[in-house]
Structure 1
Amino acid sequence: MLPSEGDLHTVAIGDVTTEAGATIADAAIAVRRWGELRGEPDGENNILLVEHALTGDTRADDWWCEIIGPGKALDTDRWCVVCTNALGSCYGSTGPASEHPDGDAWGSRFPAISIRDMVVAEAAALDALGIGRVHAVLGGSMGGARTLEWTLLYPERVSYALVIAVSARASAWQIGIQSAQITSITQDPAWQGGDYHATGSSPDAGLAAARRLAHLTYRGELEIDERFGTSPQSGENPLGPFRADDQRFAVQSYLEHQGKKLTERFDAACYVALTEALNRHDVGRGRGGLNKALHSINVPTMVVGVDTDILYPYHQQEHLSRNLGNLLAMAKLSSPVGHDAFLVEARQMDRILRNFIALTEQAPSGREIAAARGEYAI
């Protein structure tokens, strides 16, 4: 049974065995939904499963407020929008900050997880809610990686997919910049091997440093330079005879603000767990390589990229579009904002999402295509 509209609901899914063979005991996944379910939970229905990005949560109507709601692109008068919190996060789903079955925090005992592990846990949560199929899965960044894995792990459960601002696998550059973020946290003395949750201190300095690095990859070089250039922070002088931490350029102050904001709402160990999962993202692993895996996808999939994305450059979405077994459409967000454009450029995303919804009502679903091929019955 789906939770009451807008309410946070935690779904117990039992033990989860990770791709690497570890066990997460008594796991749970948090979920919210908006709009009423129409159709059959195990058949044709109106469920849109929305996947959040790295530090996102189940409040999709907040971080995508221009997109989700009555009369909007994801019209909750017509569609049942469901959003889960990823395994490993700190917004209701089991992660390093959650209570272990022994009563303490999981901490360092929480195993390394992959994007596939997140999707397996999410599928188990939908099972527990009685949902066997969804009309579409859609998400950006880490949410886009999860969407891709849905089409490969559970193609019979997904009719359509929308993959935004992500690649088929982590590039060496992405692993490098993300590993630097992890190291910023794990080298903080307050990290304490990942077992800091009951000590009264936490690696906030490391998490803030990680966020400063990450934020530079989330935003475009053009936008950052246009906003700040070489301007000093008001009342400070970064051009004095000696460098000083309290004499900053405006961009330094901005990034420090972004880092502080994250420490107030997110757990450092969860940030490490999710970032490591992004490092392990590779849809070709165990499937004969990237292109073979992508070609095997029958689910009609729309791909969206951002022309100024530093983190997931547009050529990575072009690679997806050239190799997907069933490309529904390709779209480009044109914005100086960079990677975060899919969260910021509301007008462009509205047009893209309305087009995606229209296409899902015209093109045969992956399930119909597979049935026609005799791969499985409808």
Structure 2
Amino acid sequence: MKVATRRDTGVINIGELRLESGKILPNVELAYERVGSTNLPAILVCHALTGTQDCVGNEDAPGYWANLIGHGGYIDLDKYQVISFNVLGGCNQSTGPLSINPLTGKPYQTEFPFITIRDMVQAQYQALEKIGIEHLKAVIGGSLGGMQVLEWGIMYPNKMDALFPIAVTPFLNDYAIAFNNIARLAILQDPKWNNGNYTQEDIPEHGLSLARMVGMITYRSGDLFNERFGREQRGPVGVAHEEIAYEIESYLDYQGKKLTKRFDANSYLYLLKAMDTHDIGRERGGWKKAASAITKPLHAIGYSGDLLFPTSELKQLVEHLQVTDKITTFDEVDTRFGHDGFLVEFEKWGARIEQHLKMLHNQK
């Protein structure tokens, strides 16, 4: 018999938030999903670029990690509760460019201040304090979520028992920043962006769609694209430039338009910029020195063929921590999905998380 899962959603107001830039955001809110019994130890899940707080979701709308988290699952809701926040700067009820600026009574849009990964983590810390979660069993997340995990380990090293940074590196490399720049320019050069002052009835759909297409190309491996589409034609060769001739074009067009139905272009820009700033060593004397602040076990997972976050760079972080006698493990998942490996094929890597959590559980 299937066990019913307790799931709460809502918004937490944390009040004023002083950003890393020194600017103060008033009346900050973070939207959340909280799943499982509130009497159980808590695991914080941090989402990726276009993710939301709905990591588990419900039967009608499963979350992006619904196949990882559940009763008897790799992250077992019989043992843990799971909480996730929509990031600061997001567009799913958390304070971001779509939010009303209390000083003007209008949406912030590009008057929203620039934010960093550290700002996101600080906001989540304050939100947890508000709802009375004083300690976390673990913090876990992939990509942008993995960036948050690393910052959690440095900024609040005693808040959790373990860290699970997935599909991430200690800093965003220039190759990834280059793709972010192309995506950013796609939006900025859409006439409808209008310096960020667009209405929800007339959004820069073309620019955001193109930005998403750029991202999709980097999220998966060339082998997977070639295997899936195999130069399959959709129309005759020699059609007009704007017409779709191959299935791969149709796929990218679909994915681009799909995102425009649920994501804000300004929010996309702010989150891309936040990712660009990701460097755990920034203003901390370099990433190796910054990593020394991590005191709890760190269990990293990388994915073969990840163009944006090479496994070699994540492994280097792990090896550095191991030299300093930190409890650290690294697993590389063999996959044709590349970076998107953290969203699929849970049977290949979910058990590794389950094993590490079981060891933590048995220690208490």
TM-score, with length taken from structure 2: 0.92
Give ranges in structure 2 of 5+ residues lacking alignment.
57-62
Give the structure 2 partner of residue 368 of structure 1: none
How many Å separate the matches in 1 of 2:362 and 2:332? Answer: 21
Report deviation, 1:243: 4.7
Aligned pairs, number:
350
* 1:264-279 correspondence to structure 2 within 5 Å: 264-279=261-276
Identity of aligned residues (%): 35
Aligned to 1:263: 260
2:292 aligns to what?
A: 295
Q: C-alpha separation between the residues in 1 aligned to 2:71 and 2:82?
A: 11
Q: Which residue of 2 aligns with 1:173?
A: 175
**1:175-210 CA distances to partner (integer Å, 9 max, x unpaired)?**
111111111111111111112136x31111100000
- Number of the residue aligned with 1:358: 358
**Counterparts of 1:151-190 in structure 2 under 5 Å?**
151-190=153-192
**Structure 2 SS opposite 1:60:** coil
Post-superposition offset of 1:360? 2.3
Shift of 1:358: 2.1
Give the match's secondary structure for 1:361: helix
The AA in structure 2 aligned to 1:65 is: A
Contact 1:5 1:32 in 2 (8 A): no
- In the alignment, what sits opposite 1:49? 44
Paired residues for 1:143-158 under 5 Å = 143-158=145-160
Asked whether the 8 Å contact 2:244–2:250 carries over to 1, the reply is: no
Match of 1:22 in 2: 23
Unaligned runs of 5+ in 1: 39-44, 365-378
8 Å contact 2:318–2:328 — kept in the other structure? Answer: no
Q: Report the Cα distance in structure 2 between the residues aligned to 1:67 and 1:5, rounded to whole angstroms.
A: 17
Judge conservation of contact 2:98–2:108 (CA < 8 Å) in 1: yes
- Runs of 4+ displaced beyond 4 Å: none
Q: Spell out, residue by residue over 1:323-370, the C-alpha distance to the aligned partner (whole angstroms, 9 max, x if none).
A: 235243111111101111111112013212212212323679xxxxxx
- SS class of match (1:10): strand
- Tell whether 2:325 aligns with 1:328: no
Contact 2:7–2:36 under 8 Å retained in 1: no
2:313 and 2:96 mapped to 1: Cα distance?
30
**Pair 1:98-2:105 in alignment:** no
Partner of residue 75, structure 2: 74
Give the secondary structure class of the aligned counterpart of 1:269. Answer: helix
Conserved in 1, the CA contact under 8 Å of 2:74 and 2:354?
yes
Whether contact under 8 Å (1:46, 1:135) holds in the other structure is yes
Deviation at 1:142, TM superposition (A): 0.5
**Match of 2:59?**
none
1:334-353 matches, within 5 Å, as: 334-353=334-353
**Deviation string for 1:290-339 (max 9, x for gaps)?**
11111331121001000111111111211121123524311111110111
Matches within 5 A, 1:180-219: 180-197=182-199, 200-219=201-220
Alignment partners' CA distance in 2, 1:296 and 1:149? 10
Superposition RMSD in Å: 1.6
What secondary structure, in the 3-state scheme, does the structure 2 residue paired with 1:302 have? strand
